[in-house]
Amino acid sequence: MKRFWTIISVFCATLTLQARRPNVILIMTDQQAAKAVSYAGNTDLKTPAMDRIAAHGIRFENAYCSFPLSGPSRAAMFTGLFAGESGVDINEMPIPPALRDSTLGQLVSAAGYDCAYAGKWHVNTISLPADQAFGFRNLKGNGDEGLSEAAVAYLREKHDKPFFLVVSYTNPHNICEFARGQKPPMADIDPRPPLEACPNLPANFAVAPYDAAVLQFEKSRNYSLYPTAAYSPDDWRQYLYAYYRLVEAVDAQIGIIVDELDRQDFWKNSVIIFTSDHGDGMAAHHWNQKTVLYEESACVPAVICLPGGKHAGTSTKALFNNGVDLMPSVCDWTGAKMPSGRSGKSIRNVLEKGAASQDFIVTETNFKQTAGSYGWMVRTARYKYVLYDKGLYREQLYDMLEDRGEMRNLAMESRYEGIVKRHRETLRQWLEDHPGPERWLHRRFIP
């Protein structure tokens, strides 16, 4: 009899824990820059659905991807490891066998959650490779059409336990096809909109003096990725017009999800996260695509809505890496056990209790799709330090309070020598602390 009541007590405690733990809903776009939302003050587009999420949550001003390319960025989200640690440092590369049993979906599923995934996966395969994969039930494969409806159908199911739902859209990634003169496959965009309807050029449209010379070389090595070399200012304005319309198209799809969140009041008992895997060049410094460490490519939109609307409608300057910091954060909220050796930091106490943000975050990149250069970014509270492995002006420093457009490379001025050195040494130590297949090579590039 005593054993019976012990079992009942444990069972009831488990039910109580499950009732107390929040659902987690992750809504993700592809190739959306942090400034490509109207809640950030951009008047060249309207994103009412994203604005509604922001009104319920905490907006990040300093959220960055771990690698500005889809496959490596997404692998970091679901393995908790940087590309340089896992080896997933280019598109179409699978998660290594040693990591396949400890991905985010599997961890949260083991903690008693129902885990479901809808949309773009793009860690090797463009969609999840099976009906059940990496701890997730596959609701729908890649493609924005019907994606919101599949997610809504899941939200309307009877849930006997908390759930973790990922809804992953493709757009505004179709800007890649637009730049090549192709018809965007998931949106109907005017290929030649009238100029008077197009946004003006950004203040950092020009390539800055003392910008890393290797970037223009990399751009020249793959016309398919960078077909904008001969773009006129008018072409760039039409590019921005198309990009913003693609953002608006995916926002309309997200609005279907937000309507359902309202209908069932999931805001009350869910952690709802909105972000993107990386940004887009957006004509800044004459850049389209991603991979580069400019703000437009590396800085991403991020909103986290806490259960019950805690701190709703506020913003934070906390540093957040939406790649490696996602796993520990979701595990923190769900009670899932974090595996050892992961790199990120949970953002939960920063948001809920006002704990101090981490002192710095790192984003890394390589240009293996073109000529193979490497690069790293160290972002601290005020400064952004960038290092590429070769070429003139490969070391850069920008004041993020005074020069978010990255037009004045402070590494060229002797009075900033001490700040450059501190960031350089931070990167050196970070590479030592985060070993991986090519770290022996990476460390050689630090001045």
In a domain, 178, yes or no: yes
Residue type, 171: N
**What strands, in cross-sheet order, belong to the sheet with 360-366?**
360-366, 374-380, 383-388, 395-399
Q: Are 280 and 228 in contact (CB under 8 A)?
A: no
Q: Are 230 and 236 in contact (CB under 8 A)?
A: no
In a domain, 86, yes or no: yes
Residue 16 pLDDT: 45
Question: What residues have CB less than 8 Å from 265, skipping those under 6 apart?
Answer: none
Count: domains in the chain: 1
In a domain, 414, yes or no: no
Q: What are phi and psi of 174, to 5 degrees?
A: -60, -5
In a domain, 204, yes or no: yes
In a domain, 92, yes or no: yes
In a domain, 420, yes or no: no
Q: What are phi and psi of 126, to 5 degrees?
A: -70, -35
CATH number at residue 338: 3.40.720.10
In a domain, 150, yes or no: yes
What are the pLDDT tens digits along the chain (447 aa)?
555 454 444 444 444 444 579 999 999 999 999 999 999 999 999 999 999 999 999 999 999 999 999 999 999 999 999 999 999 999 999 999 999 999 999 999 999 999 999 999 999 999 999 999 999 999 999 999 999 999 999 999 999 999 999 999 999 999 999 999 999 998 889 889 999 999 999 999 999 999 999 999 999 999 999 999 999 999 999 999 999 999 999 999 999 999 999 999 999 999 999 999 999 999 999 999 999 999 999 999 999 999 999 999 999 999 999 999 999 999 999 999 999 999 899 999 999 999 999 999 999 999 999 999 999 999 999 999 999 999 999 999 999 999 999 999 999 999 999 999 999 999 999 999 999 999 989 999 999
**Where in the sequence is the domain holding 309, given as residue range(s)?**
22-358
In a domain, 376, yes or no: no
Q: What are phi and psi of 344, to 5 degrees?
A: -85, 180
What is the distance between the terminal CA atoms of the chain, rounded to a whole angstrom?
Answer: 71
